[in-house]
């Protein structure tokens, strides 16, 4: 392209709170203006560099990787990477800026510049650069000295005097002086425009961002804001006009662009990490050795089947040079195992594969090698998992392996990986936090000086996620409806639309780590994370993937913590540890439970949407489980894919491909795109995309403000498809199936399906341990503990209020009324109050008001695979229960909870309230809440009296200690608490009411016509009914309907609120308890109520909170 | 002791200083100043020493968008003038 200017100083919105245009906006504008090259020089980071280069490559624009760095005196300098060495130096310069200046104030010490100058081109910087400021201040001698120094360090050919004319006061005289200076030293001048946005109109957003970054309003930031709208991408003609006095400066931009041949998408020079192996081994032979050893342990001997599979996998690993890659995983798993042993969760004697510390998702699931080195939990031979989809001869990229760990193991593991490899060789992936609706309203509202209370109110009221919908949302809200065209509010709407999806700051990815044998800081800047001792790299997972780095994801998965705790509890109670990799994956009893939508608390299949699809998809094996968890994803739902998949699968509805070329990609999922890999696959088969192009296409759909990019890909897709004989309308139909919503990769679905099955198995065979574990791992999953408690009750489990003399910090199992593994003293004390072995509590004060009234526990069904040892101190099965821990009580923190337990351990049980107060020294709030939660019921049965007593005895900290003096004389006659008051107190202090349900108490006040979830069972499709319940879920997915789940004393009632009803009742829906009239809708074994009228019940504070999702 | 007169220090109302004054300017095709009419005298622009633009208060009812020129006139006087880009009128800035 014949262009006479290249922009070499350009900020995207990755210059957080500075740049006001996305890289797509900038590149498409550059293309329109006829640029052939564009640099990206964000402030002190390369966060957008890979993203920028990838998009530019699609548009065939040359990119120059650079940055505007901040020196330790606060001045700026522009650096561009000419070569790979220069790029490495740039990464190091940025990394050291953070290491020396701190996470929030990167600053580079100029004296180190000389060591890192090679391969870089230096431009002397913007108005805030050292040389330009010295020149402006008339300090010419100092400016000359500094220029000489730069020349010394970089060489004359690599230093350019940067000239910027943004029509700012002082630009003309400064440029004249800078040109003089350049001429005197034989240095070339270069023009740049210090671009902060792609078009002039964006200057408003840029102004607002500056105000936001100073946490002030536009009015207050007059000095900090840029004075005009001239910081946009200008046409070559405009630039020539501005630099009429120095045309050479414009020409030099192309000279520099020509020199900067380094292409980040091509020339990174990244190598897979090496792995040091023992003497006499190669990485390949060592991996083989490890696998054979494990196979012998696992299978007893190496059968032909095992050997053949192993040979095939090792051949492919060798072919793709992946042995070092797998060995690094092996090492990490070993580290995690050591952590498990230290935490007492495993033993040196137990082989790794028997108690793996984490589990892989992704390729490892289908690989025997993964199973043998401890990456995976599933025996691929037993379940006939095919290798081909994950590791094959023509594989385009490294296999995708993520490792999930229980939370505690992951925390420690990250620390140890940092320790072992060092921050410059191992860093966490970055994650770019972005603007969404609420953040945009608050930040822009403040910048625009709108009244704070209005802004707060609006931010609270809006439901949509995307700030682009602000105007629509405001039109729906009565108090904001007439503001949509009002001055300033109008600006809020415009700017929110532009700001939506903008990067806000660099954060830490929940688990990804990159490890490298050569310094990482040669390839990507690394900086401290907000958490002490952790380091993050400047790229998010997309950029890391695109760079081809080996990324290891250590994710903390609440479900695994739950599973780990559950398995431990089973071991403690039953005496043996269950090896989940050996359970039966075809156990129809477990699937049967799921078919009944009995999935609360089960990873991946517990959401209301899953509850509706599980009974329809009716999984009966692991593959079905993968389809089940994969199907209920926004990206599948968007095109009605779930419904179509179910119809084709279960009802045999005939279907056909839109074009036969789809067959290879979509055959197994009945023509529906269920997994994200299938998008790539379809693009390759239908339109001849290369694997890389297909991947970029899929990612393009996920980007914000991507209209031009999608249009570009559509054209490419249409052409490619047409060359393969696909008619335009069919190509369009196929292309429309792609979308930017989230879908699982197939391998994730498989791994998660297996984990979901494991959890279901545990729930079915060990419900008590299952619920204790999930109670202890809160917050996690979809439901609040009140709902979990109700579900536990339905599984025959009694939940007991905390007890000052029995509870531990966390929830525990009480067997026959006593804890199964409590310190000896409790047991002794307990014996004194009980009738001996069966452990039935027989007298006050220990159990007054306690659990005598509870329904007996239904014996849990047991797996034949793991018969339970009888007796052995385990109480009668009939009375096992979940005893709430002290941590469940609001205001009792970890320190207070463990001090209660320790005091009791050392001095014996508490004899009365005064004794407990004296010995524990608990704060008043904690004491009162413990009373309200029923923890003192066994000592002082009347909670109101107990509260009175706390008041009499309590002395604030620093006063004399409470003495166990008699207080009887001061006790008053107080009315007994009603059941309602007790319940509300328990909701307030624990967010759950163990004994009953709110709806039991409300029921008598509701009309006769209000049906319960049980009554609904007999109601036919189309009947109009009224129901009531506590809202436990509000969800508003992309389809715009709102989904609610009501809970009553018998179960759940799913509600669908279509837009019209929603419009009428959008405020009522926010009430904690709702009475809804609507129509019964039944299909394929599921039932919903289609809401027609919704009203709340007023005046119920402290209700358990519904979990709300978008 | 000086007694408090209980009066404002000055009786005259607050008065703005340096208010821009409307002037006539001859422009070239690019709306750059060629000559300035001042007190019925035509002063040619000898050189443009600086030029800049401001774009302020866009969130208010009347935004301020101006292009300034720091010029030296033929008689050697420095002068700051601006073109109001909303109304198209020329002003002389201050003293």
Look at residue A251 in the predicted model and tell me its pLDDT: 97
Look at residue A993 in the predicted model and tell me its pLDDT: 92
CB contact under 8 A, B52 and A173: no
Residue A845 CB: number of other CB atoms within 10 A? 15
Query: A799 and A738: one domain?
Result: no
Query: A65 and A173: one domain?
Result: yes
Query: A600 and A685: one domain?
Result: yes
The stretch A535-543 carries a mean pLDDT of 91
The stretch A570-587 carries a mean pLDDT of 86
Out of B49, B51, B59, name the one closest to residue A218 (CB): B59
Q: Is residue A1074 part of a domain?
A: yes
Look at residue A721 in the predicted model and tell me its pLDDT: 95
Look at residue A1107 in the predicted model and tell me its pLDDT: 55
| A940 pLDDT higher than 80 | yes
The bridge status of strand A1073-1083 relative to strand A1024-1035 is antiparallel
Q: Is residue A218 part of a domain?
A: no
| Distance (Å, whole) CA A915 – CA A897 | 16
ipTM for the whole complex: 0.86
Q: Is residue A432 part of a domain?
A: no
| Distance (Å, whole) CA A982 – CA A310 | 63
Query: A986 and A1002: one domain?
Result: no
CATH at A240? 3.20.20.140
Size of interface A-B (CB pairs under 8 A): 45
Q: Is residue A623 part of a domain?
A: yes
Short-list B75, B57, B66, CA closest to B20 = B66
| A839 pLDDT higher than 50 | no
Q: Is residue A736 part of a domain?
A: yes
H-run or E-run covering A814: strand A812-815
Look at residue A1102 in the predicted model and tell me its pLDDT: 53
Look at residue A443 in the predicted model and tell me its pLDDT: 96
pLDDT band per the 50, 70, 90 thresholds, residue A700: confident
Look at residue A998 in the predicted model and tell me its pLDDT: 86
The stretch A707-727 carries a mean pLDDT of 92
pLDDT, tens only, B42-88: 999 999 999 999 999 999 888 999 999 999 999 999 999 999 999 99
Query: A249 and A357: one domain?
Result: no
> Considering only alpha carbons, which residue of chain B is nearest residue A495?
B59
| Distance (Å, whole) CA A408 – CA A810 | 15
Q: Give me the residues of A, 424-483, that contact B with CB < 8 A.
A: 448-449
Query: A978 and A1046: one domain?
Result: no
| B17 pLDDT higher than 80 | no
The stretch A759-778 carries a mean pLDDT of 95
CA distance A239 to chain B (A): 15
Q: Which residue, A990, A1007, A1041, sits at the end of a domain?
A: A990
CB contact under 8 A, B50 and A222: no
Task: Enumerate the residues of chain A whose CB falls inside 8 A of the CB of residue B50.
Answer: 169-173
Q: Is residue A135 part of a domain?
A: yes
Which range (A103-107, A498-502, A1005-1009) has the least confidence? A1005-1009
| A686 pLDDT higher than 60 | yes
Query: A696 and A822: one domain?
Result: no
Look at residue A852 in the predicted model and tell me its pLDDT: 26
Look at residue A830 in the predicted model and tell me its pLDDT: 33
Task: Enumerate the residues of chain B whose CB falls inside 8 A of the CB of residue A197.
Answer: none
The stretch A933-948 carries a mean pLDDT of 90
Q: Of A271-275, A676-680, A837-841, which has the strongest mean pLDDT?
A: A676-680
> Considering only alpha carbons, which residue of chain B is nearest residue A488?
B59
DSSP labels for A434-451? E--HHHHHHHHHHHTT--
Please check whether residue A202 is in contact with residue A165, taking contact to mean a CB–CB distance below 8 angstroms: no
CA distance B29 to chain A (A): 14
Beta bridge partners of B73: B45
The bridge status of strand A188-192 relative to strand A359-362 is unpaired
- List the end-to-end C-alpha distance of chain A, in Å, as a whole number: 46
pLDDT band per the 50, 70, 90 thresholds, residue A145: very high
CB contact under 8 A, B52 and A169: yes
> Considering only alpha carbons, which residue of chain B is nearest residue A203?
B55
pLDDT band per the 50, 70, 90 thresholds, residue A834: very low
CB contact under 8 A, A230 and B53: yes
CB contact under 8 A, A491 and B67: no
pLDDT, tens only, A1057-1068: 998 888 888 878
| A859 pLDDT higher than 70 | no
CA distance B8 to chain A (A): 31
Please check whether residue A487 is in contact with residue B61, taking contact to mean a CB–CB distance below 8 angstroms: yes
| A891 pLDDT higher than 50 | yes
Task: Enumerate the residues of chain A whose CB falls inside 8 A of the CB of residue B68.
Answer: 169
Q: Which residue, A532, A559, A586, sits at the end of a domain?
A: A559
pLDDT, tens only, A418-442: 888 888 888 999 999 999 888 999 9
pLDDT, tens only, A341-396: 998 878 888 877 777 788 877 656 778 998 898 888 777 887 666 665 566 665 65
Q: Which residue, A961, A990, A1019, sits at the end of a domain?
A: A990
> Considering only alpha carbons, which residue of chain A is nearest residue B50?
A172
Tell me, letter by letter, the H, E, C secondary structure of A235-279: CHHHHHHHCCCCHHHHHHHHHHHHHCCCCCCCCCCCCCCCCCCCC
| Distance (Å, whole) CA A173 – CA A162 | 14
pLDDT band per the 50, 70, 90 thresholds, residue A978: confident
Cα dist. A830→A702, A805, A819, A840, A852 in Å?
60, 10, 10, 10, 15
Query: A793 and A686: one domain?
Result: no
DSSP state of A743: -
Q: Is residue A410 part of a domain?
A: yes
Separation of CA A843 from chain center: 50
Supply the mean pLDDT for chain A. 86
Look at residue B16 in the predicted model and tell me its pLDDT: 74
Instruction: Say how many domains are in chain A.
Output: 5
Q: Is residue A718 part of a domain?
A: yes
| Distance (Å, whole) CA A175 – CA A163 | 6
Look at residue A826 in the predicted model and tell me its pLDDT: 33
Residue A732 CB: number of other CB atoms within 10 A? 15
**Residue % of chain A over a pLDDT of 70:** 90
Chain A CB within 8 Å of residue B27 CB: no
DSSP labels for A376-396? -SS-TTTTT--STTTS-TT--
| Distance (Å, whole) CA A528 – CA A621 | 45
Look at residue A2 in the predicted model and tell me its pLDDT: 57
Q: Give me the residues of B, 50-79, that contact A with CB < 8 A.
A: 50-56, 58-59, 61, 67-68, 70
pLDDT band per the 50, 70, 90 thresholds, residue A578: confident
CB contact under 8 A, B49 and A228: no
CATH at A1008? 2.40.50.140
Look at residue A1 in the predicted model and tell me its pLDDT: 47
Instruction: Say which residue, A917 or A965, is predicted with more confidence.
Output: A917
CB contact under 8 A, B51 and A227: no
Query: A711 and A821: one domain?
Result: no
Q: Of A490-494, A577-581, A963-967, which has the strongest mean pLDDT?
A: A490-494
The stretch A1001-1026 carries a mean pLDDT of 88
Task: Enumerate the residues of chain B whose CB falls inside 8 A of the CB of residue A218.
Answer: 59
Query: A62 and A106: one domain?
Result: yes
- Find the domain containing A307 and state its range: 283-425+540-559
Instruction: Provide the phi-psi class of A907: left if phi over 0, else alpha when psi is between -120 and 50, else beta.
Output: alpha
Query: A1033 and A986: one domain?
Result: no
pLDDT band per the 50, 70, 90 thresholds, residue A255: very high
Query: A1069 and A923: one domain?
Result: no
| A88 pLDDT higher than 80 | yes
| A510 pLDDT higher than 80 | no
Out of A173, A222, A230, name the one closest to residue B50 (CB): A173
| A213 pLDDT higher than 70 | yes
At A69, list the tokens.
Answer: 């760095």
């Amino acid at each position: 392209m014949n262009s006479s200017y290249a922009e070499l100083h350009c900020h995207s919105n990755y210059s957080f709170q500075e740049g006001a245009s996305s890289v797509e906006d900038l590149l498409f504008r550059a293309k329109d203006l006829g640029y052939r090259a564009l640099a990206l020089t964000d402030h002190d980071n390369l966060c957008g560099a890979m993203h920028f280069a990838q998009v530019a490559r699609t548009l065939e624009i040359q990119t120059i990787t650079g940055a505007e760095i901040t020196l330790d005196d606060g001045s700026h300098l522009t650096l561009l990477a000419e070569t790979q060495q220069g790029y490495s130096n740039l990464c190091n310069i940025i990394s050291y800026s953070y290491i020396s200046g701190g996470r929030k104030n990167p600053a580079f010490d100029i004296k180190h510049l000389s060591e890192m100058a090679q391969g870089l081109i230096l431009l002397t910087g913007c108005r805030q650069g050292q040389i330009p400021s010295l020149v402006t201040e008339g300090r010419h001698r100092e400016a000359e000295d500094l220029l000489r120094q730069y020349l010394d360090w970089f060489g004359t050919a690599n230093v350019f005097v940067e000239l910027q004319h943004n029509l700012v006061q002082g630009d003309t005289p400064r440029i004249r002086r800078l040109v003089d200076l350049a001429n005197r030293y034989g240095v070339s001048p270069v023009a740049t425009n210090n671009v902060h946005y792609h078009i002039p109109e964006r200057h408003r957003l840029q102004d607002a961002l500056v105000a936001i970054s100073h946490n002030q309003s536009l009015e207050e930031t007059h000095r900090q804001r840029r004075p005009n709208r001239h910081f946009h991408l200008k046409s070559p003609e405009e630039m020539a006009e501005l630099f009429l006095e120095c045309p050479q400066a414009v020409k030099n931009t192309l000279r520099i662009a020509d020199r900067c041949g380094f292409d980040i998408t091509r020339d990174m020079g990244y190598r897979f990490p090496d792995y040091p192996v023992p003497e006499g081994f190669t990485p390949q032979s060592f991996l083989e050795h490890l696998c054979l050893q494990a196979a012998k342990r696992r299978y007893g001997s190496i059968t032909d089947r095992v050997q053949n599979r192993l040979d095939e996998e090792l051949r492919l690993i060798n072919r793709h040079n992946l042995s070092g890659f797998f060995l690094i995983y092996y090492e990490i798993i070993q580290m995690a195992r050591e952590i498990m042993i230290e935490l007492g969760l495993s033993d040196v004697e137990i082989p790794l594969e028997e108690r793996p510390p984490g589990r892989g998702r992704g390729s490892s699931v289908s690989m025997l090698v993964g199973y043998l080195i401890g990456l995976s939990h599933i025996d691929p031979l037993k379940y006939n998992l095919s290798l081909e989809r994950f590791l094959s001869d023509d594989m385009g990229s490294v296999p995708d392996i993520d490792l999930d760990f229980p939370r505690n193991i992951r925390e420690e593991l990250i620390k140890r990986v940092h320790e072992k490899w060092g921050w410059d060789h191992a860093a966490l992936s970055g994650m770019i936090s972005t603007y969404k609706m609420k953040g945009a309203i608050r930040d822009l509202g403040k910048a625009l000086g709108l009244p704070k209370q209005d802004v707060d109110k609006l931010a609270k009221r809006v439901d949509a996620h995307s700030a682009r919908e602000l105007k629509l949302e405001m039109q729906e809200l009565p108090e904001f409806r007439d503001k949509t065209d009002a001055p300033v509010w109008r600006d809020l709407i415009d700017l929110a639309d532009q700001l939506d999806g903008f990067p806000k700051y660099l954060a830490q990815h929940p688990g990804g780590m990159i490890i490298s044998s050569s310094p990482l800081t040669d390839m990507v800047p690394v900086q401290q994370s907000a958490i002490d001792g952790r380091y993050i790299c400047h790229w998010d997972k997309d950029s890391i993937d695109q760079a081809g780095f080996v990324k290891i994801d250590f994710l903390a998965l609440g479900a695994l913590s739950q599973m780990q705790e559950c398995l431990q509890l089973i071991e403690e109670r039953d005496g043996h540890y269950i090896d989940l990799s050996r359970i039966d994956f075809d156990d129809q009893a477990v699937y049967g439970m799921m078919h009944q939508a009995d999935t609360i608390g089960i990873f991946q299949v517990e959401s209301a949407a899953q509850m509706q699809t599980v009974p329809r998809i009716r999984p009966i094996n692991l593959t079905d489980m993968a389809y089940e968890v994969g199907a209920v994803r926004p990206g599948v739902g968007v095109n009605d894919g779930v419904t179509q998949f179910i119809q084709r699968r279960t009802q045999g509805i005939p279907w056909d491909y839109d074009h036969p070329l789809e067959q290879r990609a979509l055959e197994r999922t009945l023509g529906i795109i269920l997994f994200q890999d299938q998008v790539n696959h379809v693009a390759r088969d239908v339109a001849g995309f290369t694997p890389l192009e297909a991947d970029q296409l899929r990612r393009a759909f996920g980007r914000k403000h991507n209209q031009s990019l999608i249009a570009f890909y559509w054209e490419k897709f249409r052409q490619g498809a047409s060359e393969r004989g696909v008619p335009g309308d069919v190509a369009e139909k196929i292309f429309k199936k792609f979308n930017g919503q989230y879908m699982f990769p197939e391998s994730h679905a498989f791994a998660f399906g297996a984990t979901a099955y494991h959890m279901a198995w545990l729930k079915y065979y060990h419900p008590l341990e299952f619920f204790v574990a999930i109670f202890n791992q809160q917050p996690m999953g979809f439901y609040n503990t009140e709902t979990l408690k109700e579900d536990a009750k339905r599984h025959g489990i009694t939940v007991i209020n905390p007890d000052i003399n029995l509870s531990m910090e966390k929830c525990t199992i009480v067997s026959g009324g006593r804890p199964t593994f409590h310190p000896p003293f409790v047991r002794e004390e307990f014996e004194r109050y009980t009738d001996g072995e069966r452990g039935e509590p027989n007298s006050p004060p220990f159990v007054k008001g306690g659990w005598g009234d509870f329904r007996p526990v239904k014996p849990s069904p047991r797996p034949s695979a793991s018969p339970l040892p009888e007796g052995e101190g385990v109480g009668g099965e009939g009375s096992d229960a979940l005893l709430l821990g002290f941590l469940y009580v609001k205001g009792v923190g970890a320190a207070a909870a463990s001090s209660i337990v320790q005091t009791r351990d050392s001095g014996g049980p508490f004899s009365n309230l005064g004794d407990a107060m004296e010995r524990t020294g608990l704060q008043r709030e904690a004491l009162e809440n413990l009373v309200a939660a029923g923890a003192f019921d066994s000592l002082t049965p009347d909670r109101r009296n107990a509260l009175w007593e706390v008041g009499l005895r309590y002395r604030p900290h620093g006063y004399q200690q409470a003495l166990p003096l008699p207080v009887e004389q001061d006790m008053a006659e107080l009315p007994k608490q009603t059941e309602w008051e007790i319940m509300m107190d328990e909701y307030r202090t624990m967010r759950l009411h163990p004994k009953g349900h709110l709806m039991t108490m409300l029921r008598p006040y509701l009309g006769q016509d209000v049906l319960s979830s049980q009554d609904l069972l007999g109601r036919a499709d189309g009947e109009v009914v009224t129901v009531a319940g506590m809202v436990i879920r509000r969800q508003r997915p992309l389809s715009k309907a709102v989904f609610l789940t009501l809970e009553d004393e018998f179960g759940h009632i799913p509600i669908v609120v279509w837009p019209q009803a929603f419009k009428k009742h959008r405020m009522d829906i926010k009430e904690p308890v709702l009475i809804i009239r609507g129509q019964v809708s039944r299909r394929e074994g599921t039932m919903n109520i289609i809401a027609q009228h919704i009203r709340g019940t007023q005046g119920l504070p402290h209700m358990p909170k519904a979990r709300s999702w978008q | 002791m000086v007694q408090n007169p209980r009066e404002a220090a000055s009786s005259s109302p607050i008065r703005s200083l340096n208010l821009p004054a409307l002037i006539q300017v001859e422009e070239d095709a690019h709306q750059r100043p060629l000559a300035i009419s001042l007190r019925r005298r035509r002063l040619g622009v000898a050189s443009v020493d600086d030029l800049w633009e401001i774009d302020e208060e866009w969130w208010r009812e009347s935004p301020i968008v101006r292009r300034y020129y720091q010029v030296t006139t033929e008689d050697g006087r420095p002068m700051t003038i601006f073109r109001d880009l909303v109304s198209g009128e020329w002003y002389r800035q201050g003293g």
